[in-house]
Amino acid sequence: MNLLQSLILAIVEGITEYLPISSTGHMILASSFMGIASDPFVKFFTVAIQLGAILSVVVLYFKRFFKSLDFYFKLVVAFIPSAIFGVLLSDAIDALLESPLSVAIALVVGGVILLFADKWFNRPVIQDSDEIDYLTALKVGFFQCLAMIPGVSRSGATIVGGMSQRLSRKAAAEFSFFLAVPTMFAATAKKAYDYYKGGLVLTDDQIKLLAVGNVVAFVVAMLAIKFFIDYLTKYGFRLFGWYRIIVGGIILALLLAGYNLQIV
């Protein structure tokens, strides 16, 4: 993987991580079109640059992260389901991660759900994420478990899950972003440790690619979050629903045409 390829993957990560369109599906397309081999470093790179995306949330919502301990307790409660099911279902999740077909199907099905989400959940009661109680946080945490299926989209599952609990679109999106911090950090740390145990040794050039990738993912994710909150509040999910269906359809068409798509 060269510098240009790493920049493109970092941009894709920054844009797609917090939008309900599945970063996994877009990584498949980007890496396949660029002909990037799915070697240990590439896999580690796609995991490690999530740190930049995580940091973007902390910077954008800096005051919220230092407002009260109650904020952290709710995040812990919401994180517990995915932590438990992530351990119990790790083998099944790894098997799904090897299937671009599963990703494509999840993209299309999730897209159809987003087309109707605004109609289904149009009577919010909770307008601010600070108003979320512990039970609601736990329920959103269970929705996050759906994102263990590659292609579902963690942000999409948690935002729609939040809206089903009578959160406004903005409150659901913000809580989804906050919950991403412990969830993505834990997943990134776990994967990094696994690669370290597997004997992955980084060269100086690879370390530079990681540094550049994280900076780019950080900047792009900040822009993506600002755009998404504003757009979602005004217009809802339909655009993202149709977009998911198109991307999933492209992956299905490529698979039917015999292309060997790989998940990095």
CA distance 23 to 55: 17
Does 156 map to a domain? yes
User: pLDDT per residue over 25-67, tens digit each?
Assistant: 788 788 878 888 677 888 888 888 999 999 999 999 998 888 8
Does 126 map to a domain? yes
Q: What is the pLDDT of residue 67?
A: 82
Phi/psi of residue 89, each to 5°?
-110, 20
Q: What is the pLDDT of residue 43?
A: 82
Q: What is the pLDDT of residue 56?
A: 95
- Contact (CB, 8 A) for 53 and 217: yes
User: pLDDT per residue over 121-171, tens digit each?
Assistant: 988 899 988 899 999 999 999 999 998 888 899 999 999 999 999 999 999
Strand partners, 167: 126
- What's the sign of the alpha-carbon dihedral 159, 46, 256, 34? positive
**Percent of all residues in the chain with a pLDDT value above 90, rounded to a whole number:** 61
Does 262 map to a domain? no
User: Measuring CA to CA, which residue among 36, 21, 23, 20 is closest to residue 260?
Assistant: 36
Segment 103-128 shows an average pLDDT of 92
**Chain mean position to CA 209:** 21
Query: Can you give the residue range of the structural domain that contains 216?
Result: 3-256
Q: How many Cβ atoms are within 10 Å of 259's Cβ, its own excluded?
A: 13
Residues 6+ apart with CB under 8 A from 208: none
Q: Is the pLDDT of residue 193 over 90?
A: no
User: pLDDT per residue over 168-180, tens digit each?
Assistant: 999 999 999 999 9
Does 58 map to a domain? yes
Number of domains forming the structure of the chain: 1
Q: What is the pLDDT of residue 131?
A: 92
Which residue reads 């987003």 in tokens? 114
Q: What is the pTM of this model?
A: 0.89
